[in-house]
Amino acid sequence: MKFTAALFVFTFVLLGLSWSKDRQKTQKALKIAWKSFNNLLPTMLGIIGLMGFALTILPPEVIKTAFGDQSILGLILISLVGSVTLMPAFVAFPLAGSLLKAGAGVTAVACFITTLMMVGIITAPMEMKYFGRAFTVSRNILGFGFAIVIGLLMGVLV
C-alpha cells in the first residue's frame, strides 16, 4: 500500500513538473493516455469478468485436479490458453494469484503466465508481416517450449 501511494505521489510530481515546463505537450500527452485507457478498458473489463466468472463457476477441486502439479494434460491445456490469450501483465498476475488460491499448481500457473508473455498466436499475423513467417513460427515454438521448461523449474524451485 505504501509503495502504491509513493508511486502515485511520484507520478503526480512528475506530471506537475511536465505541466510547468510545457502545458500544451502535457495536455496532449494526457489526451493520448485517456484515449488509450478508454480503448483498453472494455477489453480489460471483459477479460476480468470472464476470468472471474470462470473462477466462480469452477469449484476449486476442478481447478486443482485440472491444473494441479500432477496433471500433464492440464499443464499443456493452460499453456495453450496462455498462448492464445492477449492479456497485459497487470491483469495476468492477479489472475495467476486467483488461480493459485483456487488450487492450481505453481507449475501450471508459471506456464500460463510465461506463455502469455512469450507466445503470441493472436499477434502472429501482424508479427509475420514485419519479421517473416519463419521467424514468427520459430519464436513461438521456442517460446512455448521454454515456457514449459520455466514452468517445470518454477514448480521444483517454489
> pLDDT digits over 14-66, tens only?
999 999 999 999 999 999 999 988 887 887 787 778 777 877 887 888 888 77
Q: Which domain holds residue 143?
A: 60-158
d(CA 75, CA 67): 6
Strand, helix or coil for residue 61: helix
pLDDT computed for residue 2 by the predictor: 85
Tell me, yes or no, whether 102 and 158 share the same domain: yes
Closest residue by Cα to residue 118 from 157, 95, 156, 151: 151
Domain closes at, from 41, 57, 73? 57
Q: 53: part of which helix (H) or strand (E)?
A: helix 23-57
The contacts of residue 95 (CB under 8 Å, 6+ apart) are 51, 87
pLDDT computed for residue 53 by the predictor: 80
Closest residue by Cα to residue 87 from 57, 50, 117: 117
Q: Which residue shows C-alpha cell 511536465? A: 18
Tell me, yes or no, whether 65 and 111 share the same domain: yes
Tell me, yes or no, whether 15 and 73 share the same domain: no
Domain closes at, from 30, 57, 84? 57
Tell me, yes or no, whether 74 and 137 share the same domain: yes
Tell me, yes or no, whether 21 and 91 share the same domain: no
pLDDT over 80 at 93, yes or no: yes
pLDDT computed for residue 132 by the predictor: 95
Tell me, yes or no, whether 81 and 155 share the same domain: yes
pLDDT computed for residue 119 by the predictor: 94
Tell me, yes or no, whether 81 and 142 share the same domain: yes
pLDDT computed for residue 149 by the predictor: 94
Q: What is the pTM of this model?
A: 0.71
d(CA 8, CA 29): 17
Looking at the chain, the whole-number percentage of residues with pLDDT higher than 70 is 99
